[in-house]
Amino acid sequence: MGDPEVLERLDLMLAVLQLAHQDAIERAGSKLRSDDVNRAILDACADDWIAAGTLKKVVMDSTGAKDRTVRGRIAALTTQRAIQRRGGGPSVEYRSMGLV
**pLDDT, tens digit, 9 for 90 and up, residues 48-87:** 999 999 999 999 999 999 999 999 999 999 999 999 999 9
More reliable by pLDDT, 98 or 41: 41
- pLDDT score of 1: 60
pLDDT, position 98: 86
CATH at residue 86: 1.10.10.10
Q: What is the number of structural domains in the chain? A: 1
Label residue 77 left, alpha or beta by phi (over 0 means left) and psi (-120 to 50 means alpha). Answer: alpha
The range of the structural domain enclosing residue 53 comes to 4-96
Residue 42 confidence (pLDDT): 97
pLDDT at residue 73, rounded to an integer = 98
pLDDT digits (tens, 9 = 90+) for 24-37: 989 999 999 999 99
